[in-house]
Amino acid sequence: MKGSRRYWPHAAALLTLMTVAAWTIRALGSGVTAPPAAQSTRPAQGVMPQYDKSGALLLPEDYRRWIMVGASLGLSYAEGPASHEMFAHTLMEPTAYRYFVETGTFREGTMFALLLQGTGDKVLPARRGQFANEVHGVEMAVKDSSHVPEGWAYYGFAGTGAAVRSTAPAEPKNSCFTCHAEHAARDHVFLQFYPLLTDAAAAGAKGH
């Protein structure tokens, strides 16, 4: 997969170096170190979505290491009997996560990945219940007004069988956007399903 994670270059890189240098000097002085936190607090330094020449979104190389903010099993927006139940996990790009925790807003460039997994059961020592098994697909939600006029766009990376494609064009507006615009608790994001994110933002607003 091509390098899909790219920072704002040059000025930001220099600033990062200076920030880390300052942090290291403080660390050497105190003997007790803290992780560098400042580098992801400025939106200009946040990770941004990347597209190919056709405008298709590149699936970021590191999305499975993003921060888990929501989980569900068999969640469906349709009426009727359940078909193939899947686990779904919403993972959030870490610099956009930090920005939301500090401000309560989703900055331009915010990316979510929805990881879909089949279910497994009866694997010892488990005698009841289900666990998330093989990956069945990946979808993404991205806020990027420079890419689509409505701000948010949605992308499906399903390939043949269990394969995950590395690029995806934006879905037609009526396939995801309309429902997100209507039902989202905040700015097209189904925050009502993400209590971990709400909790983190509440703690962030209190300054810890």
| Residue 71 C-beta: closest distance to a second copy, Å | 4
Calculate Rg over the CA atoms of the chain.
19
Q: How far apart are CA 6 and CA 15, in angstroms?
A: 15
Q: Which residues contact 35 (CB under 8 A, 6 or more apart)?
A: none
Q: For residues 146 and 158, is the Cβ–Cβ distance under 8 A?
A: no
3-state secondary structure of 91: strand
Q: Does 77 bind a second copy (CB under 8 A)?
A: yes
Q: For residues 201 and 101, is the Cβ–Cβ distance under 8 A?
A: yes
- Quick one: which of 44, 52, 55, 74 contacts a second copy (CB under 8 A)? 74
Q: Does 51 bind a second copy (CB under 8 A)?
A: no
Q: Does 38 bind a second copy (CB under 8 A)?
A: no
Place of tokens 């990946």: 138
Q: How far apart are CA 95 and CA 207, in angstroms?
A: 17
- Quick one: which of 38, 56, 132, 181 contacts a second copy (CB under 8 A)? 132
- Quick one: which of 43, 130, 165, 186 contacts a second copy (CB under 8 A)? 130
Can you give the binding site for a second copy, defined by CB under 8 A?
A: 1, 3, 5-7, 9-10, 13-14, 16-17, 20-21, 24, 27-28, 31-35, 62, 64-65, 67-68, 70-79, 82, 85, 87, 89, 91, 94, 97, 117, 120, 123-135, 179, 182-183, 190, 192-193, 195-196, 199-200, 208
